[in-house]
Amino acid sequence: GAVVSQHPSRVICKSGTSVKIECRSLDFQATTMFWYRQFPKQSLMLMATSNEGSKATYEQGVEKDKFLINHASLTLSTLTVTSAHPEDSSFYICSAKTGGANTGELFFGEGSRLTVL
Amino acid sequence: QKEVEQDPGPLSVPEGAIVSLNCTYSNSAFQYFMWYRQYSRKGPELLMYTYSSGNKEDGRFTAQVDKSSKYISLFIRDSQPSDSATYLCAGFTGGGNKLTFGTGTQLKVEL
């Protein structure tokens, strides 16, 4: 299957600082990438859809000024958690779509565990 | 009511057992159904992908979709300890970008 790389896998930061997470598609070009958040023993929650060369589309209830998304190239999307607080501590996972627009096949990165102290 | 319902488990089985994992869904517009396996502290890995009703087999894994009852299943034959993980089902309408995931079922295969 397609390979999606995410970095860093784990980050610990102080409250008030900003953290950037990178998502790369290694062996394919992804015009669309997705950012999910997952709390322990809960399902994946879609935060936003990242489109190359345009603004991200955020899901209802997700603060776009808090979670900045940049999709500067066909292989890279970044999520920046700005002014992080302990409640932002979570597992953030990116994914990218291959195949046709309507097939729904998604390949996920390894995830980034954010801990805000 | 959640669009995709899944028993969180944990489900414990002995090695070699046949495992049955199930989801129900409420959105009649779902056309595509996926099963993902997620190991602890890792991202989900696509296991099976099916379109509409029917069965799909891949090695020890069989996915079944019954759209009339809005029921999807994943069967694992000859289960191994390495199958211990959380299994997430997901539905997709075929339009837009949003997959809808279940909460996942935690599976433990014991020696």
Split at pLDDT 50, 70, 90, the class of B93 is confident
Q: CB A43 to CB B102 under 8 A? A: yes
Distance CA A50, CA A98 (A): 14
Distance CA A103, CA B87 (A): 20
Please count the CA atoms within 13 angstroms of the CA of A79 that sit on its side-chain side. 34
B103 touches chain A (CB under 8 A): yes
The confidence score (pLDDT) of residue A101 equals 52
Beta-bridge mates of residue B101? B90
Beta-bridge mates of residue B64? B55, B73
Mean pLDDT of B32-56: 90
In chain B, pLDDT over 70 holds for what percent of residues? 96
Distance CA A9, CA A27 (A): 20
Residues whose CB falls within 8 Å of the CB of residue A19, separated by 6 or more in sequence, listed in order: A11, A13, A80, A81, A84, A114
- Which of A11-15, B1-5, B32-36 is least confident? B1-5
Beta-bridge mates of residue B57? B62
Separation in Å, CA of A112 to nearest CA in chain B: 9
Q: Residues B37, B15, B84, CA angle at the centre, nearest 5°? A: 25
What are the Cα distances from residue B71, in Å, to A97, A117, B26, B53?
A: 25, 42, 9, 10
Chain A partners within 8 Å of B32 (Cβ): 103-104
Q: Is A31:A75 a contact under the CB 8 Å cutoff?
A: no
**Window B:9-48, CB contacts with A under 8 Å:** 32, 34, 36, 41-46
Separation in Å, CA of A34 to nearest CA in chain B: 9
Residues whose CB falls within 8 Å of the CB of residue A33, separated by 6 or more in sequence, listed in order: A23, A25, A49, A50, A71, A77, A94, A95, A96, A97
Residue B70, pLDDT > 70, answer yes
The confidence score (pLDDT) of residue A1 equals 65
Mean pLDDT of B7-14: 93
Mean pLDDT of B51-70: 93
Residue B17, pLDDT > 90, answer yes
- List, as one string, the DSSP characters of A32-59: EEEEEEE-TTS-EEEEEEEETTS--EEP
Q: CB B92 to CB A93 under 8 A? A: no
Block residue for tokens 């299943």: B73
Walking along chain A (117 residues) 10 residues at a time, the average pLDDT comes out as 89 96 90 89 88 88 94 91 96 82 74 95
- In this structure, which amino acid lies at residue B26? S
In chain B, pLDDT over 90 holds for what percent of residues? 72
Q: Is A6:A94 a contact under the CB 8 Å cutoff?
A: yes
Which is higher by pLDDT, B10 or A41? B10
Mutate to test the interface with B, among A11, A32, A43, A91 (most CBs of B within 10 A): A43
Residue B65, pLDDT > 80, answer yes
Chain B partners within 8 Å of A42 (Cβ): 103
Chain B partners within 8 Å of A103 (Cβ): 32, 94
Mean pLDDT of B20-45: 93
Q: CB A113 to CB B41 under 8 A? A: yes
Residue B67, pLDDT > 80, answer yes
